[in-house]
């Protein structure tokens, strides 16, 4: 796999371990090849933070970032929450080639759950009041396979919608497809078929929904 990647990405592989060793076991560092979201992880250190390994897929946030296609400014120090409730301080940096084309992501995820617990204890003990962060942490969908990431995103979206599929109107389903599209779900190979099955419609109906959304958008 590493023999077929862009030379710039290949040159960055040693940095992944170096950054992780500098900040310790709670700091996960991931190098992604954006051309291959299904198996984008070229190199990862301290993968226990999110439970991922080399060859794994892009996360929900990575897919959403790819879908937005706004790569002028790095995404630094945003908060995410894992499915088991741990809090991550994260940064996603864009890697471009000599022509300015996006080729990769360098992601840093620091598990600050223990620090947050200590901070809350000190606040209770000494009555320290700290301002609430303006950026609320949102649950992130990680997974060891791209199908797991896809399933997590779709299930979470359906749960938030709060209505069984059997009771959904066409407008409801269009709204769900629109949310999934914004999250970058349809960058995943096979996502159209999977979403069609979940929403009990044909794959051609999903394509029609997407056309409708993008025309109106």
pLDDT of residue 144: 77
pLDDT (tens digit, 9 = 90+) per residue, 176-187? 999 999 999 999
pTM: 0.76
Q: In what order do the strands lie in the sheet with 138-139?
A: 41-45, 27-33, 102-111, 87-96, 75-81, 138-139
Give the per-residue pLDDT at 2.
57
In this prediction, residue 137 carries a pLDDT of 58
- Is the pLDDT score of 60 beyond 80? yes
> pLDDT value at position 81?
80
Give the tens place of pLDDT for each residue, 78-109.
Answer: 988 887 778 899 999 999 999 999 999 999 99
The pLDDT tens digits for 114-133 are 777 676 676 666 665 544 44
Amino acid 141: pLDDT: 67
- C-alpha to C-alpha distance for 121 and 105, rounded to whole angstroms: 36
Question: What average pLDDT does range 37-43 have in this prediction?
Answer: 94
Average pLDDT, the chain: 87
pLDDT tens track for 184-211:
999 999 999 999 999 999 999 999 999 9
Q: Name beta bridge partners: 44.
A: 30
Question: How many of the other CB atoms lie within 10 Å of CB of 189?
Answer: 12
């Amino acid at each position: 796999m590493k023999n077929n990647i862009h030379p710039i990405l290949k040159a960055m592989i040693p940095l992944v371990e170096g950054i992780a060793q500098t900040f310790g076991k709670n700091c996960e560092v991931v190098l992604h090849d954006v051309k291959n979201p299904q198996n984008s992880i070229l190199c990862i250190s301290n993968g226990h933070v999110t439970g991922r390994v080399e060859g794994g897929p892009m996360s929900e946030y990575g897919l959403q970032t790819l879908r937005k296609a706004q790569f002028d400014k790095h995404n630094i120090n945003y908060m995410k929450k894992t499915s088991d409730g741990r809090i991550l301080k994260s940064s996603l940096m864009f890697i471009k080639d000599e022509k300015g084309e996006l080729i990769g992501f360098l992601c840093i995820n620091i598990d600050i759950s223990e620090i947050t617990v200590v901070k809350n204890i000190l606040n209770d003990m000494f009555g320290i009041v700290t301002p609430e962060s303006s950026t609320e942490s949102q649950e992130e969908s990680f997974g060891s396979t791209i199908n797991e990431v896809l399933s997590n995103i779709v299930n979470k979206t359906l749960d938030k919608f709060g209505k069984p599929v059997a009771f959904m109107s066409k407008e409801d389903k269009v709204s769900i497809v629109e949310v999934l599209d914004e999250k970058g779900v349809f960058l995943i190979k096979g996502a159209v078929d999977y979403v069609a099955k979940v929403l009990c419609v044909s794959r051609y109906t999903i394509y029609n929904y997407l056309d409708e959304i993008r025309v109106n958008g």
